[in-house]
Structure formats: C-alpha cells, structure tokens
Amino acid sequence: MKKNKVSNLEKMRHSASHVLAQAVLTLYPDTKLGIGPAIEDGFYYDFEFSSPIEEEELKKIEKEMKKIIKKNLPFEQTFMSREEALEYLKAIDQTYKIELLEGIPDKELSFYTTGDKDFIDLCRGPHLKTTKDIGAIKLLKTAGAYWKGDEHNKMLTRIYGTAFKTKEELKDHLHKLEEAKKRNHRVLGKQLKLFALIPEIGQGLPVWLPRGYKIRNILENYMIKLEEDAGYVHILTPHIHKKILFEKSGHLKFYKDSMYPPIKVDNDTFYLKPMNCPAAMMVYKLEPKSYRELPFKMGELGTVYRNEKSGELHGLQRVRGFTQNDAHIFCTPDQLESVLDETMDLLDQFYKDIGFDNYKFVLSLSDKEKKSEKYSGDPAKWELAENTLRDMLVRRKVEFEEIPGDAAFYGPKIDVLAVNVFGKADAISTIQLDFNLPEKFDITYIDSEGKEQEPFVIHRALIGSFERFFAFLIEYYGGDFPLWLSPDQVLIIPISENHSKYAYEVHDLLKASNIRVKIDDRNKSMQSRIRDAEKMKIPYIAIVGEKEIETDTVSVRSRANKELGLMKNQEFIDYLREEIRNKGNK
C-alpha cells in the first residue's frame, strides 16, 4: 500500500513553475500572477498579460527559464504577518495574490524566494534546494483559463510545461505526447463521427452520433447481460425529482453547489438529479424485504446532471449531463464480504472483456478533522466502512493508494483507475460503501427472527459514466476498437458497378449472421474507397470482383494484418464470429 506524499518529481515541477513565473516577470514585468501548481505530468502557471502573447513566445520564456536554472539560485521559505504580506503584495500590484491571501486563514503567510529575492511568491511549498536541481524542462502550450475556474471571472493565460530528471526521460515523455495527440478523443470523435458538442444544445452536453451510439448501445447490452447473469434487476428513474428527496438524502446540504438551480412546477420544487441513489432507495422501499431476498442487486443506466464550471469542461471527460452504469446492492452485514468480492470479480471480468490489463486502485477516505463539515453519519460507522474496504483490497492482494479527504459525503469509496498506453491513469469504476442513506431513508429488511434490521448499501458503477469511459476507450485504442465493439465491422467494396450485385449478396449473408456490415459502391476509385475505410478505422475490408464472384469468396484486408487473401464467405463469417465471441482475447 502506498502513502500519499509529495514526491521529488512533484517538488521539481512545482519549483519549475516558480521559475516560469520568474522568467515571465523578467520578460513581461507588468504581468499579474495567478497560481502555479505541479500537476500529474508537469506544471502550469496562470498569468494576466497586459498584451496577449503568442504560442511562439514560449521559446523565449523557456530560454529565460534555463538561464535562471543555470544560476543555481536557492529556494528559501520565509514568513510574513498578514499585514506585511498584504502591504507587500499591494506594493508589487499583484491583485490575484491578494485575493488568494484573503482566502488563507493563517496568521503567518508562507512565501518562497528564489535567489537573493530575485523572485518571491506566496506559496506553502515544498520546493527543491536550488534551481539547478531542476532537471530537463519544456514549455508545451498556452490555453485560456478562467480565474479560479469560474466563467464569471477574467480569462487568464495558462502556460503548461513539464520537467523530468533527465533529458532522456523528457524526450520519451514528449514522444508520448505526440502519440497522444493522435489518440485525442475529441479529434478522433470528430474524425470517426462518434459524438459532437453542439453550442446551440449547450456546453458539456454531448450528442452521441450514430456510430458512437452504436458502441454505447453494445456496451449497455453487454453490461445489462453481465449484471443479469449475476442476479441483478434493472430499473429506470426520472431525470428530475422533488426537493424533499434531496433534503432527505443530504445532497442539498453537502452537494448543492454541484446541482442545477431548482425547477418550480405548480406548488412543488424539483431538481435535476445529480445522482441516482435517492430514487433507488425509494424503489427498494416499495415492498418489504426479507433477509432471504438479500443481497438485492438493482442496476440502472441513469442519466444525471451536474453544474460543472465552464472552465472545467473537457470533451467527454468532464460534462454536465452523463449516464452512469449505476447499481445499488442491499445486503446483510454477513453478506458484505462476499458481495464486495463478487463486485470485484465482475469488475475483473469487465476489464478483461474490454481489453484493459493495467489498472490500479485508490481508497478514498474521510478527512477526520472535517467529519462534521464534509460528511454525513456516525464516525464509528465510517471507521467500520473504511476498514471493510481496506480489508477487502488487502485480502485480494492488490496494490492501492489511500487518499484521506476524498470520500463521498455519505461513505468511503474505491476508485479504479485504468492506465492507458502512455501511462496516464483515468478514473473509470467506483465502489462505495454507504451506511448513511439506509438510515436516512429508513431502509430495512426482516431478519430470520422477524425483526427489522438496517442493511448495508454498496453503490457500484463498473463503467462509471458512459461519456467518461468512452473518452478513455477512444484514446486507449486510438479509435481502433476491438471487433465486438466496432460500429462497422466489415466494409464491402465492389471493384466496379458490375460487381455490386454479388457485393449485396455477401452483405446479406454477413448481416444474417449479425455482422455489422456496409457497402461502399460510390463512384470513386477502389483505392480511394479503401483509404476512406482505413481513415474510419473499419476492422475488415472485403473486396469483390470477377475472381471473387467465380470462386464464391471475398478478398479480405484486415486492419491489423493487412492482406488476409481470398476467403470463402462462410469461412470469413466463422472467422469474424470467433473473434467477436472471444472479444479479441486469445
């Protein structure tokens, strides 16, 4: 189990962000400074320039950074009283830093100086000892960023960069970034006609286009069958619920900032649901349950809405409306261990079928110092739930990281992070243990002695949200989806108009075998149509001409292996069926 602490690489990148700010002030002295943290793959700093800068100017800024690094300037922490800090920041006219200062409750404020006060910044740290300890750096790009992520605030210029210990590591990272550009889900989403973000419909409200919706439909059907085979039943609840439901669940107390404003209808107040769980509790309560009916496993492909800030929206990865592969499992205390194990087994099966072989676990715990402010429920129950999830991960011998303060307001959770081909981890699945909603909603079951007892509830989303999962899936495969997921599995190309009749006969044979097949008989050259099919990343191209008609075959080109040669029609169908059945697993 890993401990959550600041690594030397994080210190290096945070130190590099200070050097970036120092370089910018050297070249553009009237610039206002925002914030400059280390992030997963590097660092950034937000600036308000008096005049907009161009991307080309990053080279000049980077050159200045390297000069500063070469000087071997020390990073030193110093403290000021609130009055001294305010006076200093006013003197240098750093308005954003003054605003940050107002939000820090400390009486003494931490600053870091670089060199002999060559540069000083409001910062808790930590940093490296000197600038020369910073390894190889590279400024990557600029982007617009609203101050504090709020679209009502001013748009600042964010400069992104990265830093590594060696030039070789930096070179390898930059190569991966170039490859990642080719896999960007927003670029491929447009190229492959999978989804669209249409301004007139609304920011953060993606539209699934026919090819993308086909993949989603395949995933939905797959997941429903996987869950039904494991004893789940499925429900579907409305998109809006009455205010009273969210008052009872605690969402209006702990989660209101992420919810859309209320909707008034007649004398009632409604909210767009941010989560599916309150309605699931009400469905459970419709009929009394015996211990013999537990575990009761209820799934829902439920659409929810969260009022994310405009500056934080990002393709399909951060949206305002999304559908979750949700489930709520009601079980007795004695069943808790086996239900958690079954949930993990389902997760392993799903990840195997989808082709993910690299994933890790994060255990999100409560912040014990802020129990009453951020979390609902009895501290003793919190401790039991946290220990239960931890014990399960230990028992299954999986590595995991603990993050205090990252739990949901109603219970601790396990997040599953799938790692893509470039080593970047994205949160996909989640398993949450909840003892609060059963109490709030008076959820019970009748035990073997005829007494009412309170069950545990496990919230579980294997796919997480379809939108976020689809973004990861696109980038993981670079749009080259496994055959069973591909919206178009085969494209038939007749060499000329004379071969169209046979092409349609082959088409009908494949379609009758549930193969997703199309014909491209446009008045374009065969090579042009092949290029178009390859651009759309269609797994198999079947070319038909005189030779194929005479021999009752197709000439098959595979996306993976290129030329497969002539195959009898039934042989080709069997070949495809086997690959689909195995989901690409050998």
Please give the positions annotated as active site: 277, 306, 324, 326, 328, 413, 459
Task: Give the separation between CA 157 and CA 582, rounded to whole angstroms.
Answer: 49
CA–centroid distance for 98 within its chain:
33
- φ, ψ of residue 564 in degrees (nearest 5): -100, -10
What would you report as the CA-atom Rg of the chain, rounded to the nearest whole angstrom? 28
Bridge partners, 326 (sequence order): 300
Residue 251 Cα distances to 371, 501, 554, angstroms: 16, 61, 59
Q: Three-state SS for 466?
A: helix
Kindly give, in sequence order, each residue whose CB lies less than 8 Å from that of residue 368, ignoring residues fewer than 6 positions away: 404
Question: 209 is written with which tokens?
Answer: 């286009």
Given a contact cutoff of 8 angstroms between Cβ atoms, the answer to whether 538 and 519 are in contact is no
Q: Taking Cα atoms as reference points, which of 35, 36, 39 lies closest to residue 7?
A: 39
Question: 130 is written with which tokens?
Answer: 């000197």
Per DSSP, 462 falls in state S
Interior CA angle at 451 toward 447 and 453, to 5°? 65
Per DSSP, 454 falls in state P
Question: 127 is written with which tokens?
Answer: 């940093």
Tell me how long the chain is. 586
Residue 75 Cα distances to 3, 72, 131, 248, 377, angstroms: 26, 10, 7, 51, 44
Task: Give the separation between CA 226 and CA 461, rounded to whole angstroms.
Answer: 13
Residue 123 Cα distances to 14, 82, 108, 309, angstroms: 10, 14, 12, 25
